A and B are shown apart, each in its own frame.
Chain A
Amino acid sequence: MTTGAAIEARKLARILPGLIPVTLVDGIDFMAKPGELVAITGASGSGKSSLLYLLGLLDEPTSGSVIIDGIDSASLTDAQRTHLRLERLGFVFQFHFLLPEFSVLDNVCMPMKKLNALPEQAQAERGRMLLKDLGLEGSEKKLPEQLSGGERQRVAVARALANAPSILLADEPTGNLDSKNSHAVFDIFRRLTRQDGKTIIAVTHDQELASACDRQVHLADGQVV
């Protein structure tokens, strides 16, 4: 059944097995449309990040399914899920997680090199273009350690956008940034949804930033409230 959603979760649950099983996500139904900027909010331990990792196919649900661009991930093999992630999803984390040995441009081009859908020259051109769009022109050859925190996070956004994914998942992307840089990152997110039609789901604690999103989903004890 087509719902027109870019990404959708149906009865999604994640329970950590053990002597006392821990429920991280408890039967959540969720959807985000193309071009929508959704904020997931909630207290610590409410299941925000767990839901994001399940949506991003980084973790496997105990039950339920995730549907990305109409493809039900439950029917896919591990390799197919990995490829779907490479092609259609981009991640931004609280820590930038840039590879410290490689230049800014190398970091941005890494997903493109892995997908190998563009010629090498075109990959570098797209990398430069993404960096320019995010205000990082001239930083291509720098190492991550030569950048400020805000710049590193923008490089991480550029890397997440490298393969032109339809969906961007951000886990506390401003958690380590000051107010100015936090707003700058969310401005970029807004631009990406408005201009490029990307779907962005961002976990955040910052109520001001969350209220600037198209929609907020509030979680408590692994459920949408």
Chain B
Amino acid sequence: MKLLLHIALGHLLARKRQTLVSMMGVAMGVGFTIAMSSLMEGSQRDFISRIVDNMPHVTLKDEFRANPAQPVDLVYPKGAVALKGVKPKDEIRGIKAPWNKIAALETMPGVRVAPSLHAQIFLSFSGKDVAVNLLGIDIERERRASRIEEDISTAGGLTALESAANGIIIGKGLASKLGVQMNDTLTAASASGVVMKMKVVGLFHTGIISTDNGQAFALIKKAQILADRPNVINQMRIKLTDPMQAIEIAAKLEQRWGYRSESWQESNEGLLGAFVIRNTVMYITVSAILIVASFGIFNVVSTVVFEKTRDIAILRSMGFEPADIRGIFLLEGFLVGLLGALLGWALGFGLSQILGMVRFNIKMMTEVQGFILHSTWIHYTMSGGVAALSATLAAWLPANKASRLKPVEIIRGAA
């Protein structure tokens, strides 16, 4: 192996410019792969962590996935039955016996639950009306199950809701839209026609635009009055110590109580699916760079084989076996791939650092101030490994061709 390596290095060093160009091709591929994957991984992780941190891991709603089956369907499940003009029973919406369910949930390890009533209301101030999603909350449980208090920049946090008769905490974006400030009193009106004067006792800023511009918090009792739904709770937001158990726990809860229980993964299925598509597109693009780089290596090794046919003949006449000849040229491809990958690691690291320094301020679904990068050893190992492997594979064809050369034919041709 040492001898083969010695010969392979000799060939490569004799063509420094060609070798360097091929290595740079691989390095660019590896470097961009690392930079792009750390960019993608960073933004994905940041987005997921924002979702996981700010949203409930499981949301139990006062809904059912399927409409209740009609008696005739239950009696004749496979019968040729068609029902028309069914008038379903108009039940009062809300989770039945919520406090028993909360008590049962609170006995489960690693589970924190925050009951709430969600109501669509209008907030009016100074002639401006904004539709808002009002959350009626239980302060103590809300503290345990959500991070909203960390995002409240005003004094008192959630406790401020108890400081006024009808206190409300709104997002800074919403306050800006309405033009209200702390301690201003605004008018809240619900779809059921209840109108209530509410005092702004706190402001929050989560960084998620839809939340900051369209959400408000009040005590659960006040929300029930405003929505005209006394004693009703229509959501239980559950936080888990291990967010990855959300799918399993949501399924268990739905099976137990029948209410629709959504894991955070299900609630954000579209976005998480988009990440998969985005990552696939990204990996296809960077793979294309590596494939182009492989053609460069194929070209170099093919050229060396063409130029070295006489040397191959003499090596064979000396007693080198076809496998030795193949080994020399495969090693050349591997060395270009390996050295290119090492250069690419440095390039990828540098590019990541530069991208990490870029600053901008964009408000999309979340507020973004710059690229969030997350590199792991997997990015480096995978890109380096794929580069070295593709370089070796690119060298395979010319190497195999070299090993099949007949020394006599070459020597005859040269004579």
A-side interface residues toward B, CB under 8 Å?
49, 53, 56, 58-59, 79, 82-83, 85-87, 91, 93-95, 97, 99-102, 106, 110-111, 113-115, 159, 163, 171-172
Contacts and interface: CB of A to CB of B under 8 A. Distances in A.
Interface residues of B, number: 26
B415 A82 contact: no
A114 B3 CA distance: 7
B313 A87 contact: no
B319 A111 contact: yes
A59 B408 contact: yes
Nearest to B409: A59
A99 B311 contact: yes
B314 A83 contact: no
Interface stretch (B10-18, B21-29, B110-118): B10-18
Contacts of A87: 319
Contacts of A53: 408, 411
Contacts of B314: 91, 93, 97, 99
B321 interface: yes
A32 to B, nearest CB: 19
A114 B315 CA distance: 10
Nearest to B311: A99
Contact of B11 (A86, A101, A114): A101
B10 A86 contact: no
Contact of A82 (B7, B10, B14, B319): B319
A49 B412 contact: yes
Contact of B310 (A91, A97, A113): A97
12 contacts: A82-B316, A82-B319, A85-B319, A86-B319, A94-B415, A95-B310, A97-B314, A97-B414, A99-B311, A110-B315, A110-B318, A113-B6
B407 interface: yes
A93 B412 CA distance: 10
B407 A58 contact: yes
B318 A111 contact: yes
Contacts of B313: 97
Given A87-B319, A159-B318, 10 more contacts: A58-B316, A58-B317, A58-B408, A85-B318, A86-B319, A93-B411, A95-B414, A111-B319, A113-B2, A172-B415
A113 B3 contact: yes
Residue among A83, A87, A95, A110 with the highest chain B CB neighbour number at 10 A: A110
Contacts of B318: 85-86, 91, 110-111, 114, 159
B320 interface: yes
Nearest to A165: B319
A163 B6 CA distance: 19
Interface SS, B side: helix
Which 3 pairs across A and B sit closest by C-beta, in order of nearness? A86-B319, A101-B10, A97-B314
A100 B415 contact: no
B14 to A, nearest CB: 4
Residue among A79, A91, A94 with the highest chain B CB neighbour number at 10 A: A91
A82 B3 contact: no
A8 to B, nearest CB: 20
Contacts of B411: 53, 58, 93, 171
B14 A56 contact: no
A85 B317 contact: yes
Contacts of A102: 7, 10
B412 A82 contact: no
Nearest to B11: A101
A115 B320 CA distance: 9
Interface in B33-88: none
B50 to A, nearest CB: 58
A158 to B, nearest CB: 13
Contacts of B412: 49
A91 B317 contact: yes
Given A49-B412, A94-B415, A56 B317 contact: yes
B314 to A, nearest CB: 4
A82 B321 contact: yes
Given A99-B314, A101-B14, A172-B415, A83 B319 contact: yes
A174 B360 CA distance: 76
Given A49-B412, A171-B415, A172-B415, A99 B10 contact: yes
A163 B316 CA distance: 15
A79 to B, nearest CB: 6
Residue among A94, A97, A171 with the highest chain B CB neighbour number at 10 A: A97
B18 to A, nearest CB: 13
B16 to A, nearest CB: 11
Nearest to A93: B411
Contacts of A159: 318
A13 to B, nearest CB: 16
Given A53-B408, A111-B318, A114-B320, A100 B3 contact: no
Interface in B283-324: 310-311, 313-321, 324
Contacts of A100: 14
Residue among B10, B315, B319 with the highest chain A CB neighbour number at 10 A: B319
A49 B415 contact: yes
Contacts of A99: 7, 10, 311, 314
Contacts of B321: 79, 82
Contacts of A101: 10-11, 13-14
Contacts of B311: 97, 99
Given A49-B415, A58-B408, A115 B3 contact: no
Contacts of A114: 3, 318-320, 324
A86 B321 CA distance: 10
Nearest to B406: A59
Contacts of B408: 53, 58-59
A83 to B, nearest CB: 7
Residue among A93, A94, A101, A106 with the highest chain B CB neighbour number at 10 A: A101
Nearest to A79: B321
A56 B314 CA distance: 13
